[in-house]
Structure 1
């Protein structure tokens, strides 16, 4: 069954355009033009509560309490949007829950991850910004990050934690942005994560020049350390057998542990996934070397390197699901 599904998807050779964009501090209109052009996709993530005045006020208070350093940036960005709900959306504290695949591992000062999602719902924007400090990462939800690194040599990425629960708190996308904007080391970032309310179970892998760690977070658990720096789509509790059949999370975790930080392994099953119609197809592989300030994004047929020293805006249309 799996081989048939993978083969059929690969034959379709879906295409996805990824863009690299430089935003600076977000004040010169480049961020606003990019975001407003993609607003129809972004606003689909808003909950009904977040569209009300009461919901917007609650989101603002939560943001001010937990991410005060980013409040001036939020106001700077929201002031450029031509829509009343922009400021509420940018808190990323009132989004509908979203669930994805993904596999990641950290070791030896590198962070390697596959991001698995639906191609039509993935923004596909590699961003270089200097909101509070230099950050490069794969953006989603206007200024949130799926993964990224900063100029201090810290890199972070996320995977869905596998439990379909939802509570008050932030989408993890803005949490990764916050960690990279305000932290220099893994220890600092883990310390901040302990007090941040996160709406959906997530696994966060963090890497600096000294260590690599994965932690489990969510609305119903305290921050919990993983046994190593690897993660797929479950936490300290295993997923049900029927969920494993769809997500293959235990199989992927075993595979990434056995392979280590190996790009070639990430571009092949079981780590490379083909179930795009089920929101479980691999969109890209990212290989961060944060101490060098470099990241390379891989697809089966090509790669694209970016760095703080030589960030190159542009676009690439790549084949998804294609085999080498």
Structure 2
């Protein structure tokens, strides 16, 4: 078991045009071209990514252009479409119930951006930023919250990475029903599970390049879509165990902060980096770590930093698994 010291940032960026967004993301984004697929690095691939974005997310084209213009890389515009990026695979558990979205994000701490962003591109949005302007989870001022987990199957197709899809849903939709309808129209690059919550409805759906959008019986998800889960996958990820645990616990923050939902396999890219509880009807979110929390809202966003020590040496985890980044 290794310890990781992770600094989380909370930043207000407005519409992204005054330099605050660029100042925060420029160092990481200009070293991120390795996330592009081989096709995405070609002029033809870049053009295809742009056309896909224009077709499916036309409302966000002005924001895409405004942001990419602030980065020096000639491939910034392609990268920010998130329509030509290599797949990445993570852990995570999430549940929606009674107007609450609760999730654990499990990944390699050094590869999680760790930036909580308050933005106003098309409307006010607060969420955990990923890949420049995508979101791992977030909420908007209309009372909609969304979150993602990896779907557990290693397939890849032409389409968008989920962080930009979550951004699109929060920028353009007011309700779960609107967001699910929009999600049905978007091509998705890898299998993902999405939980959506508003004050009146909660749902989890499975999406991916090889399946139609499918609503689940329960509004929760871990890291599988279809049963049975292979024994080796369960040994590594404990996805069935975590799903059963979150089904039993409901939206209980304390349960999320202890095993089996809270994971310590950081060296295996499967440790819990943060817990987030969204109350979108109230416009509030709190990020949790054992013994610490950090609250934000549309009324009182709190820019600053928090440095967290992750890891628990007293109970080592002997799993050895590094997700394929291909």
Normalised by the shorter chain, which TM-score bucket? Answer: over 0.9
Cα deviation for residue 236 of structure 1 reads 3.1
CA contact (8 A) 2:96 2:195 kept: yes
Cα deviation for residue 320 of structure 1 reads 1.2
Indicate which of 226, 238, 241 corresponds to 1:248.
238
Map residues 116-135 of structure 1 onto 2, 5 A cutoff. 116-135=106-125
Indicate which of 182, 194, 207 corresponds to 1:192.
182
Map residues 157-168 of structure 1 onto 2, 5 A cutoff. 157-168=147-158
Show the counterpart of 1:103. Answer: 93
Cα distance per residue 1:224-264 (max 9 Å; x no partner): 01111010000133321111000000000000000000000
Show the counterpart of 2:82. Answer: 92
Partner SS, residue 168 of structure 1: coil
Cα deviation for residue 323 of structure 1 reads 9.2
Cα deviation for residue 102 of structure 1 reads 0.1
Distance 2:273 2:78 in 1: 28
Partner SS, residue 44 of structure 1: helix
Q: Specify every segment of 5 or more residues in structure 1 that has no aligned partner in the other structure, as ranges.
A: 1-8
Distance 1:184 1:321 in 2: 38
Show the counterpart of 1:43. Answer: 33
TM-score when scaled to structure 1? 0.95
Distance 2:284 2:312 in 1: 25
Map residues 183-262 of structure 1 onto 2, 5 A cutoff. 183-262=173-252
Map residues 12-51 of structure 1 onto 2, 5 A cutoff. 12-40=2-30, 42-51=32-41
TM-score when scaled to structure 2? 0.94
Partner SS, residue 241 of structure 2: helix
Partner SS, residue 38 of structure 1: helix
Show the counterpart of 1:68. Answer: 58
Cα deviation for residue 322 of structure 1 reads 4.3
Distance 1:41 1:256, change over 3 A: farther
Cα deviation for residue 312 of structure 1 reads 1.1
RMSD value, Cα: 1.3
Show the counterpart of 1:304. Answer: 294
Distance 2:56 2:228 in 1: 31
Matched pairs, number: 314
Distance 1:219 1:291 in 2: 32
Distance 2:41 2:118 in 1: 29
Cα deviation for residue 165 of structure 1 reads 0.3
Distance 1:282 1:40, change over 3 A: farther
Distance 2:221 2:228 in 1: 12
CA contact (8 A) 1:300 1:322 kept: no
Show the counterpart of 1:4. Answer: none
